[in-house]
A and B are shown apart, each in its own frame.
Chain A
């Protein structure tokens, strides 16, 4: 469904991705792991259209989407849950979710479905977004992305800054999200969590794919070698 072919991405003159290739099949959960600065978030931003790649190609459902702006990418069914959640602080929880539906894609996710999945958001829907706890904000950020009824959901560091019990709680809900036939790319620093949730794993190191394989077939040694580059 998603095919990334030899993508190069730059911040100004600094090259962050070097010929990264990756593919995601329909209904698949792919984890991208790697140390700080390995290019994980850059990869997601390139897919979502926030950082158009300078080389290579990003093909989604047979269409090249690498050069589309972000607002057009989301209309084709790619949604990003940005790192640090980044809810709109001056909007209420419900308004944040409604903004998520701006791309006007139809599908299974409606406010009602979201509130069934995350009842705490329903209780707090009229509060301003910053009034939520960190874990609730992360749920709201995921819910906001789901409101666009994506076919591919990109999650950037959803465990960042959250208590382990909250992280487990959020990851426990992923199966009911993927159950809707959507594919998932999760970027994680928490490798154990990522390996448990994913079917396939890519490990980035300094902007290049250092290792990839089926999640439960990779040995700890090969992962730490690819992670730290030793």
Chain B
């Protein structure tokens, strides 16, 4: 039963990785922007949640009601005020600017909150578990996290394919100048995409901070997990991203079971193998 538990834990953590990845993949899809600061924005969201829980005395899940809109507003402003200026035919300027942003966020958090490890306290919820079969246990929090991740992915899928905003995202992604001809202000469309991306970042950041310790320097590693989940799943496919996150989570869990030192290595190796064998990812979007 040990292995069943291990794989189950891997699947559940995979939901978190899928949330890291979803925002990343969303903005790359809409505006070809690779956001190097994505991981640091996740950590920023965790600190905003920390301030909310300490300042208002609410529990971490309730703090989402505040953290999600705050991060979305930051995303909109960031895109409108800064990142839109970097977009063009060249992929390099946004890469460099978000790299700089990553350093600024890390050091800003370090100045403000020090390098101490923090954690969000979710009280009794953190240690609640269910036995779902003989010897197979599931924690309440990882389960909630996974359900939220699936809901986020499903929500994105609906938004992309059933709403006017999603239609605008896809049209802008296809052809920016024609999208403008149709009356879409692409600067606004991009800012909405970044707002949505950071709203997902906010959810991911809160679950990350409840699950484990965080400090200002852990952002880049979350970015790598996000990238790996996107690549494993295949660009442009939301459900593929969820599958990518799960594969990454399970690989890490199995690696850790064999030898604790192998946890991250196992994830990276599986990622590299998939990249080598199937560079388009496991579930790439079928082009129309």
Give A contacts to B, CB under 8 Å.
48-50, 69-71, 74-75, 79-80, 82, 86, 88-91, 95-96, 98-100, 102-104, 128-131, 144, 148
Contacts and interface: CB of A to CB of B under 8 A. Distances in A.
| Residue of B168, B181, B182, B186 with highest tally of chain A CB at under 10 A | B181
B178 A98 contact: no
B167 A95 contact: yes
Interface of B is mostly: helix
22 contacts: A49-B180, A69-B185, A70-B177, A70-B180, A70-B181, A71-B181, A71-B183, A74-B181, A79-B181, A88-B170, A90-B170, A91-B171, A91-B174, A96-B171, A99-B167, A102-B164, A102-B182, A102-B183, A104-B183, A128-B288, A129-B288, A148-B183
B178 A82 contact: yes
Contact of A102 (B168, B170, B288): B168
A99 B170 CA distance: 10
Contact of A99 (B177, B182, B185, B186): B182
A142 B135 CA distance: 64
Contacts of B167: 91, 95, 98-99
Interface of B: 164, 167-168, 170-171, 173-175, 177-186, 287-288
A3 to B, nearest CB: 21
Given A50-B177, A91-B171, A99 B184 contact: yes
A99 B171 contact: yes
Given A98-B164, A99-B171, A90 B182 contact: no
A100 B170 CA distance: 14
Contacts of B186: 71
A2 B112 CA distance: 58
Contacts of A74: 181-183
Nearest to A127: B288
Contact of A103 (B171, B175, B182, B288): B182
B180 A69 contact: yes
A88 B181 contact: no
Contacts of A131: 288
A149 B214 CA distance: 54
Contacts of B185: 69, 71
Most buried by A among B164, B173, B174, B183: B183
Contacts of B287: 90
Contacts of A69: 180, 185
B182 A144 contact: yes
Given A86-B175, A88-B174, A99-B171, A50 B183 contact: no
B183 A88 contact: no
A188 to B, nearest CB: 20
A69 B185 CA distance: 9
A89 B178 contact: no
Task: Please provide the 5 A-B residue pairs with the shortest distance between their CB atoms, ordered closest to farther.
Answer: A103-B183, A128-B288, A70-B180, A88-B174, A102-B183
A88 B166 CA distance: 13
Contacts of B174: 88-91
B178 A88 contact: yes
Contacts of B183: 71, 74-75, 102-104, 148
Contacts of A148: 182-183
Contacts of B175: 86, 88
Given A71-B185, A91-B174, A50 B288 contact: no
A71 B177 CA distance: 9
A89 B184 CA distance: 17
A187 to B, nearest CB: 15
Contacts of B164: 98, 102
Given A74-B182, A100-B182, A102-B168, 20 more contacts: A69-B185, A70-B181, A71-B182, A71-B183, A74-B181, A74-B183, A82-B178, A88-B175, A88-B179, A90-B173, A90-B288, A95-B167, A95-B171, A98-B164, A99-B179, A99-B182, A102-B182, A128-B288, A130-B288, A148-B182
Nearest to A95: B167
A50 B180 contact: yes
